[in-house]
Structure 1
Amino acid sequence: MDDGRAYGRATGESDPDLYETSPGTPAGELLRRYWQPVALSSEATSVPRNVRLLSEDLVLYRSHDGTPGLLEPRCRHRGTSLFFGRVEQDCIRCPYHGWAFGADGTCVDQPCEPRGGRHRDSHRQPWYPLHEFGGLIFTYMGPPDRQPTFPRYDIFEALGADEELHVVDHFAFGGPSVAPCNWFQTHENVMDPYHVFILHNAMSGPQFDPRLGTWPDVDWNQHELGVTSTQDRLLDDGTTLHRVTETRFPNIRVVATPTLAYLGKTNNMSWAQPIDDTHTRVFCILRIPKGAPPQGLGTYGPDAKSWFDLTDAEHQSYPGDYETQVSQGAITLHSEERLSSTDRGVSMVRRQWKQQLQVVADGGDPVGVVFDEADPIELLAGNYIVEAR
């Protein structure tokens, strides 16, 4: 008789379609059809940097003329890593025999060969195109003939002279830059608004604005580019906080500031960077007044400490997004979950993701990719105050 004991329980399985990032996997190929964040712009310097993205190891650098480059580390000549290379005016030079490559992989010099390499044009270092925006460097790692234009978003358009774009790279609203778990289980959390009431208020005390501690009336809707959650909270003054959060394809989350410092449409967007199957980095671009402190980091416990100032005991007493998502494991066991009615948004995110996996498998283009110049994409997320009637 099964009385629910742990003895003899099944090991459980993970769904690879929800976390795999390697080339050739269904999920990895879908992710590669979009521009992905690589690193902060400030991290591309004249000192080469090892980076990992979508389970590929690469080298990022910035030549002296200001051009960033993202290349395969293994030199086309004899395999020495370009991590040890020397960055020059418009190229990076391998330390072993001096072969030099431009940002587009073109071999521009072979100093040990006659006339600097009579056949150097036939050698090209594997590379990826880059685009800089808002303090981040993005890359496209998919099929060259399906490379989309870099998308624009309405919240970042027409920046005023007294405004700036600011980048924060932290996990959710507190935690280290890199989390030891896959990107998808951090991403789907955005469509789980009920955890705000429990985790960020009832369990750990108000980690954000206390007004978010009111039980919400929630609805979810799937649209072409993602899933939207709307949450209505009745406030003490009789008004209603109408809060909208979004997931956007493939790995974008749009969350209004939890401090309620910005009312109206949101001022920020985040990308869950899939480093590989078991590591995630989150980048957030905020539009703020020049010199203003960025908003959004939560506090923990009665002393309102930052995540980094907590003791081990305090992390256990006042858990946040990092603790609850990372503790699911590097890759959660999907077969052991028991989704319920409040997980409807999570189910919608997963279902839409798998629909787009099939689109790409059938040879189509996934949602949201555009190949010509287009109008900025309109976002819906924000904190809206609705006056009582």
Structure 2
Amino acid sequence: MTKAFEKLESPRSTGSSATTKRLIPYGGYYANRTPDHDPELTETGPGTPLGEYMRRFWQPVCMSMELTDTPRFLKILCEELVAFRDGSGRVGVLHAHCVHRGASLEYGAIQERGIKCCYHGMVFDVDGSCLHVPFPKGEEKEAEKYACSIQQGAYKAIERNGLVFAYMGPPDEEPPFPEWEQDFTVLPGDELVPYSNFQHCNWLQVQDNAADNFHPTALHAAKNVVDGHFQGTTFDEVGAASMEVAPDMQFIPIHQGRGLACAGARRVDKDKMFLRIQHQVLPNLSLHAYTSEDGSKKKLFSRFHIIRWTVPVDDENSKMIGWRVMGPGIDTRGVGDKSLVGYETIDFLEGQVAMRRPERFGKYKLEDIPPIPSNHRERHNYKEAQYAPGDYEAIISQRPIAVHALENPTKFDAGLYAFRKMLRDAVRGTNAAAAAQGFAQWLRDVNGAPNSYCSGNVFELPLADSIEQEVANRRQLARKAVAILTEADHLHGTERAEFVKARFDELERSLKS
């Protein structure tokens, strides 16, 4: 706590208790020194505690569309990498600098099998083995011997629905790829649409925002925009006054501390209650319920709308990369726009990205998109962002790495603090179930297909006669809904959905009586 807000000795005190809490007017001088950031939860380079933890999980590194006829330079977890698809269709994720003399493989030539370094012609396969060394004719045996002595750093890569994932940890500790809800199952007619958005700040403050279910009441309310200066869908994007109502939040650890259910109940009107349950998963996954719910119709157990990893680029940059579920099954209001979901674009919240007004790009190729600005204050739309800031501005303006020691949290911040503690316990091994080996074993136990608690629901629950009973109903609804999802965790697919819907229906009736 900074000196301006700590208990200070009062020079006017005469009693035995000589300390009182004082707020000093114009006391900026006493608060002008910035403490260090929290390295345990923010630094992700090789050898760091969090970096080693994250490397034991599959991480998305880029979109499939980024793999063109030239290699794609990437930086992930502070490592410089190159991703490519060779002529046979295999995806490679290699260390960027050639093991021979250090030239970057981003200038390499993609081969039918592997990639060839531009500098001396070494060819490396997707597993890092050296396939060819260009020794002079007659020295083939020496070339073969040399090829067997070197290996390019490589990580196993897989593709899922337009995203490329890499496992960057020890090969013998590779966990199953987590096919949440059995391959992220969506309803017939719906699809997983990939996207990737760069963030000019540390990964944790982006992840914190996902657990902060309170901020939409201010940040995404058009009434708070300066003189109505906003365009696009940044504000009032949900289309329901209910999202501008402060939610009553309950934060409940689930899956033995491997995740957190963030259940927010808020009233749509005097007859309906909107319960939105988000699911935070260690170390950097978040699963989000429908973002455009207007609460007009009863709805029980609506599934994913956003599946998102917050991937560290380095300690001061990150990216949100995942899928937006599109289609009539989830988007019951039909407000989504698939053409605006992709590389550096997102349809539902323009302020999520560094480059606003993605509709300018229309149908684009990767090379047609302007480069991501290096500094958020140097953007062409900086003034526009000041008028109508979105998540991007709120998150990156907390400093390149947010300083937790300067925070003064309220009770509605409890979710992100709970998640930070869960992450710290996992990194330290305090919670063995959430430690890397425990997490991997759990994924094996559930055949790589765990269930999510993510759910959007509208209950027909009339306004209570008193504010005390209304508060009690909201909190009981949230806690009991999470308990029902826990009870259904051993079920899968349609069986689980029907069980949850029936129990939610019973819960609604019990709260009415």
Q: Identify whether the pair has TM-score above 0.5, normalized to the shorter chain.
A: yes
1:315 aligns with 2:385: yes
Structure 1 residues 360 and 104, CA, compared in 2 at 3 Å: closer, same or farther?
A: farther
Worse-matched range after superposition: 335-344 or 362-371: 362-371
Alignment correspondent of 1:101? 124
Name 1:277's counterpart in structure 2.
Answer: 315
Structure 1 residue 53 displacement after superposition = 0.1
Alpha-carbon contact 1:30-1:366 (below 8 Å) kept: no
Which of 140, 148, 165 is equivalent to 1:115? 140
Within the candidate set 196, 201, 217, 1:181 is matched to 201
| Structure 2 SS opposite 1:90 | coil
Partner of 2:217: 197
Deviations 1:290-316 (A, max 9, x none): 99734861368xxxx948889534322
Letter in 2 for 1:118: E
CA contact (8 A) 1:265 1:384 kept: no
Q: Deviations over 1:66-85 (max 9, x none)?
A: 11111112222222221221
Q: Higher RCO, 1 or 2 (CA under 8 Å, sep at least 6)? A: 1
- Alignment partner of 1:184: what SS? helix
Deviation per CA, 1:343-371, whole angstroms, max 9, x where unpaired? 11121011101101111999963553247
**CA offset digits 1:183-230 (Å, max 9, x no partner):** 101101222222121222253452433321122221111113211111
TM-score (norm 1): 0.88
Contact 1:241 1:386 in 2 (8 A): yes
**CA separation in 2, counterparts of 1:60 and 1:195?**
36
Residue in 2 that maps onto 1:379: 452
Structure 2 SS opposite 1:194: coil
Q: Number of matched residues?
A: 378
Distance of 1:200 and 1:344 partners within structure 2: 20
Counterpart AA for 2:140 = R
* Aligned equivalents of 1:157, 1:184: Cα separation in 2: 24
| TM-score of the two chains, using structure 2 as the length reference | 0.68
The alignment partner of 1:346 has SS state of helix
Return the match for 1:216 from 247, 252, 256: 247
Within the candidate set 40, 48, 72, 2:95 is matched to: 72
Could you tell me which of 357, 371, 378 is aligned with 2:427?
357
Does the Cα contact within 8 Å between 1:49 and 1:83 map onto a contact in 2? yes
Secondary structure of 1:236 counterpart: coil
Compared with structure 1, are the counterparts of its residues 84 and 347 closer, same or farther at alpha carbon in structure 2 (3 Å cutoff)? same
Cα separation, partners in 2 of 1:364 and 1:234, compared to 1, 3 Å: closer
1:298 is aligned to 349
> Helix, strand or coil for the counterpart of 1:75?
coil
Partner Cα separation in structure 2 for residue 383 and residue 69 of structure 1 = 38
Q: Secondary structure at the match of 2:204?
A: helix
Q: Which has the higher helix share?
A: 2
State the partner residue of 1:19.
Answer: 42
Measured on the aligned residues, the alpha-carbon RMSD in Å equals 2.8
Q: How far apart are 1:255 and its partner, in Å?
A: 1.4
Q: Is 1:135 aligned with 2:162? A: yes
Residue by residue, what CA displacement relative to the aligned partner does 1:17-76 show, whole Å, maximum 9, x if unpaired? 121010111111111110011100111233012100000001111111111111112222
Q: Is this contact kept in 2: 1:220–1:230, CA < 8 A?
A: yes
CA contact (8 A) 2:49 2:427 kept: yes
Unaligned runs of 5+ in 2: 1-9, 11-21, 226-234, 329-333, 339-345, 361-379, 462-511
In 1, the alpha carbon distance for the partners of 2:82 and 2:392 equals 28
Q: Which has the larger radius of gyration?
A: 2
- In the alignment, the residues of structure 2 paired with residue 208 and residue 252 of structure 1 have an alpha-carbon distance, to the nearest angstrom, of 22
Counterparts of 2:117 and 2:170, CA distance in 1: 27
Q: Is the 8 A contact 1:226 1:248 kept in 2?
A: yes
Residue 394 of structure 2 aligns to which amino acid in structure 1?
Answer: T
What is the DSSP-based 3-state SS (H/G/I as helix, E as strand, rest coil) of the residue aligned with 1:369? helix
Instruction: Tell me the amino acid that sits aligned with residue 212 of structure 2.
Output: D
Q: Which residue of 2 aligns with 1:44?
A: 67
Within 5 Å, give how 1:228-377 maps onto structure 2: 228-236=261-269, 238-260=271-293, 264-289=302-327, 293-294=337-338, 297-298=348-349, 306=357, 311-359=381-429, 365-366=436-437, 368-370=439-441, 372=444, 374-377=447-450
Q: In the alignment, what sits opposite 2:85?
A: 62
Q: Which amino acid aligns with 2:396?
A: V
The whole-number CA distance in structure 1 between the counterparts of 2:291 and 2:185 is: 25
* Distance in 2 separating the partners of 1:189 and 1:312: 21
Taking only the aligned residue pairs, the percentage that are identical comes to 28
Give the superposition deviation at 1:384: 0.5
1:172 maps to none
Given that 2:426 and 2:435 are in contact with CA atoms closer than 8 Å, whether structure 1 keeps it comes out as no
